[in-house]
Amino acid sequence: MKKEFVVIGLGRFGGSIVSELIELGANVMAIDITPSKVDEYADIATQAVVADTTDESALLSLGIRNFQHVIVAIGENIQASILTTLILKEIGVPKLTVKAQNEYHKKLLEKLGADHIVRPERDMGIRVANNVLSNNILDY
Ligand code: ATP
């Protein structure tokens, strides 16, 4: 059976997760509040949907509780990220990966029970620095 994911927020980060998961053979429901973002992924994702994920009823009507793993890639709008995470935890999504914008955002997400928190620019910076030091420039 194919693995199934939901990706919320189709900026550069969320969008690249959608494309890579599809490339790797997974099923992906891609969600964004902005219709033009959703249009971009209509032919890439298994399903692309316009929705405000701070609206619990919208999430429930999309059947989000049936997915094992949801990735919240909303960054700039910290309030939307936090509310979305809170609702997904309340719904009982088994696994949540969430993008944090800064250290305070990260701490809040931890308190809400996010399973995995990423800070893409910072994490990538650390990785590049380590690879540069070990001269492993081919493996960023
Ligand atoms: P990136 O750095 O990954 O390119 P970005 O800076 O372009 O991200 P962000 O502000 O991090 O954009 O948000 C990512 C996406 O999340 C945007 O496309 C935005 O429309 C979407 N988004 C914001 N609020 C909501 C919401 N309440 N429901 C669904 N999607 C949302």
Please tell me if the CB atom of residue 7 comes closer than 6 angstroms to any atom of ligand 1: no
| Token couple for 25 | 């053979």
> pTM of whole model > 0.80?
yes
CA atoms of 38 and 11, how far apart (whole Å): 10
Ligand 1: centre distance to CA 116 (Å): 18
Ligand 1: centre distance to CA 41 (Å): 14
Q: Which atom of ligand 1 is nearest to the CA of 99?
A: 11
Across the beta sheet with 95-99, what order do the strands follow?
47-50, 27-32, 4-8, 69-72, 95-99, 116-118
Q: What's residue 2's pLDDT? A: 78
Rg (CA), the chain: 15
CA atoms of 18 and 2, how far apart (whole Å): 15
Single-letter code of the amino acid located at 102: N
For residue range 74-132, list pLDDT tens digits in order.
989 999 999 999 999 999 999 999 999 999 999 999 999 999 999 999 999 999 998 88
